Structure 1
Amino acid sequence: MSASAFDLAYDELRARWPESTEERDVATPYGRTRVHVYGPADGRPLVLLPGGSATGLVWWANAPALGERYRVHAVDLLGDAGRTERDGTPLKNAADLMAWLDALLDGLGLDRTHLCGHSYGAWIAAGYALHAPQRIDRLALLDPTQVFAGFRPGYLLRALPTLIRPDEARARAFLAWETGDHRPDESWQRLYALASTAPGRKIVAGRCPRTAGLRMPVLVLVAERSRTHHAAKVAARARRTLPHAEVALLPGATHHSLPHTDPQQVNDHLMDFLG
């Protein structure tokens, strides 16, 4: 992958964010973390964690509405493509991700926050809410992977070529298969495809978190047409494990079309839940 090609795609999508968006590079023991910050300075904080290869920029279509009420902090994940650096303490496991988020929230000056994650970011968010429940007011999980159910075998088989021999064409073909006619934005597709080939990525895997231990209010939004897992099973297990949670299916949505395709659907659920 050409670094300049990724940077151009990154800057192109960054230009879609509102003009007043701030870029913050927050020092942590694991490296400096890029955070896109938008919304009123006195707004309740809302931290957004993206899926793998998506970068924090993936929330550009959600930020204008969410930023009317909340102080949005969209994060480039540690170990993934983006402008978060990985140096200093090595990233080895899920415990390191929890320590990284501790340091990130400290650096942002957030003693407490709402937390929302999509896909891999939802797995991290659920784990962090168990790790530091005193810091999380409300938790939103958007088509979470490896939280209430594992991946479909067919999804893993389709993803395998992009992991073994990643290139832009394979990543685009994978997106086209999963999203069908619910096609994501072209600028974001380009960034995702280039991100999937970024050298040195380290996506940490781990067990499903013990979600029954979550005590804060929880929202689970499941993509009705997700090919990542069985949507109905994920919703049923979420309701069974967290009887106090709000669980909803997003009609027509696929896993990788979230969160920016049909953003109003996601935003309405989030804003109703966050209050």
Structure 2
Amino acid sequence: MTPTKIFVRLVLFLALASCASSKKAKFEDYVFETKTEKQAYLNSYDKALKLWDIPYTEENIQTSFGTAHIIIAGPKNGKDLVLLHGMDATSTMWYPNIKSLAKNHRIYAIDFLMEPGKSTLTAKPLSSEEIVIWYNEIFKHYKLKKFDIVAASRGGWIATLLAIQKEDSIDKIVLLSPAQTFKFIDKMGKTTTALMLKLFPSEKKFGKTLKTFSTHPEKISPIYKRQFYLANKYAKSNSSMLKMTPFSDDELKSITNPVLVLIGDKDVINSDESLERAEKYLIHVKTKKIPDAGHFLTIDQSKIVNDAIADFLN
């Protein structure tokens, strides 16, 4: 890594750490500062979840590190499919894709527990090893065997981490613009708006962030947009992203699962280099660049993405 990149990452870390440490929780919650903020966010979550527009159930299960919130949908006799969302996005983010995903699969959409959502952390921030333990407790609870995973952004990094550990029975994996998985983010200038939104949340900065990460922000539902904004406005700064580093050559080579990697052609998180590294080190991999799509490719080009996922999984 160049000295410039090291410096930028150090500044990013210090800024987030400073912001996080300046906030003192007024009640016992890892993510939110007040009960009012939390309730406002949960109300927005419930409204956004209705965008799924298919039958679903919500369940909470107790784990070693807190409560895991899982949304279940799709035919009971369908192949099990776990959905891992992107940072601050929650399981509601799948609203443009869920009808296609749930057509032939039994869906288990899991809210990550160290950020806004309905999973709640009761322990200290988790290490990578503890994240693996947490997800495997969920898989064990639902007796998931030979299941598929579709994962976006930070969720893609987690899915890759799980595949490397080999403590579960994952079958096929779909990585949608996985963050920090094959390479470091090198377009720091373009992602500055996201950092500034975290430090100083405002509607104006939020609008700029959406334009940075999406080629078609006008496609984003206002209902979901509201939830996503509140996640950035109310939640304590999410520094767990800083602990995510690209996987080594040997780690990637150890993954024997069939893997599909999709990125947008205007993605600020990934580039051709990401696909080249995936093709070089993943044993059974297919890659595709989605035209006219950014980091939010599941929204920017939902039909193309849905069809690509369905072809790969089915």
TM-score of the pair, normalised by structure 2: 0.81
Which residue of structure 1 lines up, in the alignment, with residue 6 of structure 2?
none
Matches within 5 A, 1:64-143: 64-87=99-122, 89-132=123-166, 134-143=168-177
CA distance 1:138–1:236, change in 2 (3 Å): same
Pick the aligned partner of 1:242 from 269, 279, 282.
282
Pick the aligned partner of 1:221 from 231, 242, 262.
262
- Give me the whole-angstrom Cα distance separating, in 2, the residues matched to 1:110 and 1:44: 10
TM-score of the pair, normalised by structure 1: 0.91
Q: Choose 44-53 or 146-155, whichever is displaced more.
A: 146-155
Pick the aligned partner of 2:226 from 190, 197, 221.
190
Q: What CA RMSD, in Å, does the superposition of the two structures yield over aligned residues?
A: 1.9
2:292–2:301 Cα contact (<8 Å) kept? no
Q: Point out the structure with max Rg over C-alpha.
A: 2
Pick the aligned partner of 2:196 from 158, 161, 167.
161
1:182–1:253 Cα contact (<8 Å) kept? no
Is there any run of 5+ residues in structure 2 with no aligned partner, and where?
1-35
Pick the aligned partner of 1:265 from 304, 309, 312.
304
1:185–1:261 Cα contact (<8 Å) kept? no
Which residue of structure 1 lines up, in the alignment, with residue 273 of structure 2?
233
- Give me the whole-angstrom Cα distance separating, in 1, the residues matched to 2:110 and 2:156: 13
SS at match of 1:35: strand
Superposed CA deviations along residues 53-90 of structure 1, whole A, max 9, x for unmatched, are 11011112211121110001111111011111111x43
- Give me the whole-angstrom Cα distance separating, in 1, the residues matched to 2:69 and 2:239: 17
Q: Choose 194-203 or 104-113, whichever is displaced more.
A: 194-203
Question: Percent identity of the aligned residues?
Answer: 25
Superposed CA deviations along residues 81-130 of structure 1, whole A, max 9, x for unmatched, are 1111111x433321111111011111222133111110000001100111
Which residue of structure 2 lines up, in the alignment, with residue 50 of structure 1?
85
Pick the aligned partner of 1:13 from 48, 67, 78.
48
1:223 shift after superposition: 1.0
State the one-letter code of the partner of 1:242: L
2:292–2:300 Cα contact (<8 Å) kept? no
CA distance 1:97–1:203, change in 2 (3 Å): farther
1:172 shift after superposition: 3.0
SS at match of 2:267: coil
Superposed CA deviations along residues 214-258 of structure 1, whole A, max 9, x for unmatched, are 1111110111111223x22211221122253000111111103x3
1:19 shift after superposition: 4.2
- Give me the whole-angstrom Cα distance separating, in 2, the residues matched to 1:2 and 1:172: 21
**Larger helix proportion, structure 1 or 2?**
2
2:258–2:284 Cα contact (<8 Å) kept? yes
Q: Choose 10-19 or 62-71, whichever is displaced more.
A: 10-19
1:220–1:246 Cα contact (<8 Å) kept? yes
CA distance 1:131–1:119, change in 2 (3 Å): same
- Give me the whole-angstrom Cα distance separating, in 2, the residues matched to 1:11 and 1:242: 38
1:165 shift after superposition: 2.5
Is there any run of 5+ residues in structure 1 with no aligned partner, and where?
none
SS at match of 1:226: coil
